[in-house]
Structure 1
Amino acid sequence: MNIKALAARLDRLESRLAIETLISAYANAFYRLNADLLQQIWHEDSTLDLPGFGAAGSRSDIISMAEQSWRQMPHMHHWMANPLIEIEGDSAVGTVAANCLFHDMEQGPVQVSGLYHDRFERRDSEWRFVYRRFELHYLTPLKEWVPVAGSEHFHASS
């Protein structure tokens, strides 16, 4: 194998790892209510479309939308699975399944599942989201759901 082919393979592997890290960082930012982490994963001109939950057309709008979501749903956990990522040069597209548990201030505990449709770009040697849209498969209220153990910061009645 020549050096050029090896460098291309290494770039694809490093790019995939960087993109999978963005997907994980998104989940972590939301369930840790971490605006700083959320800001780091988007290019300035990015869009986030969460039908039924909100839409934003810039990184600052994404942060504002997240902060509003956190007031409405102060406890949330995202599990991302089965990422399919296609990388071509400095751009990539992908899908990732999501299963989320939220505590909504009005509805109480709810489970949300669906599929994220993503676009990523590498600019100045750094991969970030440029577009993310959620395809809702279902939102299910979890009536009578009460945790019996866990974080002292989570209360089903909050």
Structure 2
Amino acid sequence: MASDIEDKLAIQHVAQVYADGVMQRNAELWGSTWAEQGEWSLPGMEKPITGRETLKGFWSQVMQGYPYVLHWVQPGLITVNGDKATARFYVQENIKDAKGDQVRVAGVYDDQLVRENGEWKFARRDFTVLYRGPTDLSGNWSAYSGR
């Protein structure tokens, strides 16, 4: 069994692979970070998107509207409990959509992870938007008090 530090490094790695998948626009790489029955909860959606293959299809379709996305993830706060973990990762994105409009998004992922076939995967990601607006940061801000 891995040590707490090894597990935390592996979970940090999963978050970095997720970001790398976004930056490369690579659905297979991005999808590899999800558990088989992973769930992604996004603002404005009634229910989470569920299942790795469904997630990859959904993400690929959405990304068609955003030809340019820069996605950065901060090192996370992670708690490991056996084969399960929770984490919080703050992210920033600079996006240029298919119409040429630019937007900056800053937010936080509250995550549940599971060790699946010996590898850490996202079992659930809940995204909260902290800022969405012009790249000069003159848009609307939301407070975050944790989950």
4+ residue segments displaced more than 6 Å: none
| d(CA) in 2 for partners of 1:97, 1:36 | 23
Task: Quote the residue 2:85 is aligned against.
Answer: 92
Task: Quote the residue 1:24 is aligned against.
Answer: 16
Task: Give the secondary structure class of the aligned counterpart of 1:16.
Answer: helix
Task: Quote the residue 1:127 is aligned against.
Answer: 120
Query: Which consecutive residues of structure 1, in runs of 5 or more, have no partner in the other structure?
Result: 1-6, 144-158
Task: Quote the residue 2:71 is aligned against.
Answer: 78
Question: Is 2:7 the counterpart of 1:11?
Answer: no
Question: Is 2:33 the counterpart of 1:41?
Answer: yes
Identity across matched positions, percent = 28
Query: Which consecutive residues of structure 2, in runs of 5 or more, have no partner in the other structure?
Result: 137-147
User: Structure 1, residues 107-130: CA drift from partner, whole Å, max 9, x if none?
Assistant: 611100011110110122111111
Deviation, structure 1 residue 105: 2.0
Task: Quote the residue 1:155 is aligned against.
Answer: none
Which one has the bigger helix percentage? 1
C-alpha root-mean-square deviation of aligned residues, in Å?
2.0
Task: Quote the residue 1:115 is aligned against.
Answer: 108
* Aligned partner of 2:60 among 55, 67, 70: 67
| d(CA) in 2 for partners of 1:20, 1:142 | 27
